[in-house]
Amino acid sequence: AAAAALVRYPQLLSVSVEANLRPTADYLRSLGVDVGRVVRSHAITLDLSLEANLKPTVSFLQREGVEELGRVLSSQPSLLSLSTQSSLAPKCDFLRSLGMAPLGPLLTQYPAVLTLSLEANLRPTALALAEAGVLSPPDPTLRPRHLAASLERRIKPRLALCAALGVTPSLGAVTTASDVHFCKQVGLSPAEWAAWRGSNRVPAPLSIPWLPPTLDLNQLLFESGAAAASGATPAAAGAAP
């Protein structure tokens, strides 16, 4: 495990054993964290500052009511590398605004939700569920696993089918339910669902980080394709005659 960790994070070779690695490992063990598991999955944790990163994050999680920190941090060590102010706190505030309260027990049960991006995952997923009428915040039945479901691969295709059938699914049906249970709720067989999904794929939105956020790349490509079909340039295709 140590050799593999050094291959992935060679910068650990420059970290002092006595001043950094050993105190960090000892602190994690005092919380009940499986240090060997952390080394295998997220060895860079050992390079984090004990005073500036680890202890503030642990204190934050404790204030939020997260228990079983040994298990939580063994399974999700990347939490320790997230900023409490710019990452963890805004996510917790957002989850509470949706109706998740008390939040501590829910995070203890599914801490992975805090590793998801607020803007790229949590907020778009909640918005899609709300727009479909599946989620009405604040909703006390909402759980972290609902928001951790893949928006593009699971939620959107299921919502599209339900809209086509004219049925309103439950929150769990479009997020956490297996395909078998989802099909039972909407009245289709798994084979029918697979066939429908194969012929009605919901395209994932195109995203290039360095482009202006207001640029609709899908629309631009559509206009380019339409212009090519007509033999005009995109600008000319949109120009008045």
Range 184-212 average pLDDT: 77
Q: Which two tokens stand for residue 174?
A: 């479009």
- Give yes or no for a cis peptide into 144 (omega within 30° of 0): no
Q: What is the pLDDT of residue 241?
A: 40
Q: Tell how far CA 137 is from the center of its chain.
A: 19
Report pLDDT for 40: 86
pLDDT at 14: 61
Do 79 and 57 form a contact (C-beta atoms < 8 A)?
yes
Whole-number pLDDT of residue 13: 57
Q: How many C-beta neighbours within 10 Å does residue 128 have? A: 17
Q: Are 88 and 113 in contact (CB under 8 A)?
A: no
In the three-class reduction of DSSP (H, G, I as helix; E, B as strand; rest coil), residue 215 is classed as coil
Q: Which of 137, 146, 61 is nearest to 105 (CA)?
A: 61
- Smallest CA-to-CA distance from 91 within 201, 9, 132, 83 is with 83
pLDDT score for 234: 44
* Per-residue confidence (pLDDT) for residue 18, from 0 to 100: 81
Q: How confident is the model at residue 113 (pLDDT cuts 50, 70, 90)?
A: very high
> Are 1 and 40 a contacting pair, CB within 8 Å?
yes
**Contact assessment for residue 44 and residue 13, using Cβ atoms and an 8 Å cutoff:** no
pLDDT recorded at residue 106: 98
Handedness of CA 139, 142, 144, 145 (dihedral sign): negative
The pLDDT, as a whole number, for residue 198 is: 87
What tokens does 166 get? 């004219």
6/235: higher pLDDT: 6
H or E element, residue 97: helix 89-97
What's the average model confidence in pLDDT over 85-107? 97
Q: Are 189 and 183 in contact (CB under 8 A)?
A: yes
Model confidence at 240: pLDDT above 90? no
Query: Is 89 in contact with 128 (CB distance < 8 Å)?
Result: no
Q: Which residue has the higher pLDDT, 203 or 19?
A: 19
Over the chain, what is the mean pLDDT?
Answer: 85
Residues 6+ apart with CB under 8 A from 68: 32, 108
Q: How many CA atoms lie within 13 A of 216 on its CB side?
A: 6
214 pLDDT above the threshold of 90 = no
pTM of this structure: 0.77
pLDDT digits (tens, 9 = 90+) for 134-159: 999 999 999 999 999 999 999 999 99
> CA-CA distance, 72 to 140, in Å (whole number)?
23
Distances (CA, A) of 105 to 30, 60, 69, 144: 21, 14, 12, 11
Percent of the chain predicted with pLDDT > 70: 77
pLDDT in tens, 31-81: 999 999 998 888 888 888 999 999 999 999 999 999 999 999 999 999 999
Q: Is the predicted pLDDT of residue 235 greater than 50, yes or no?
A: no
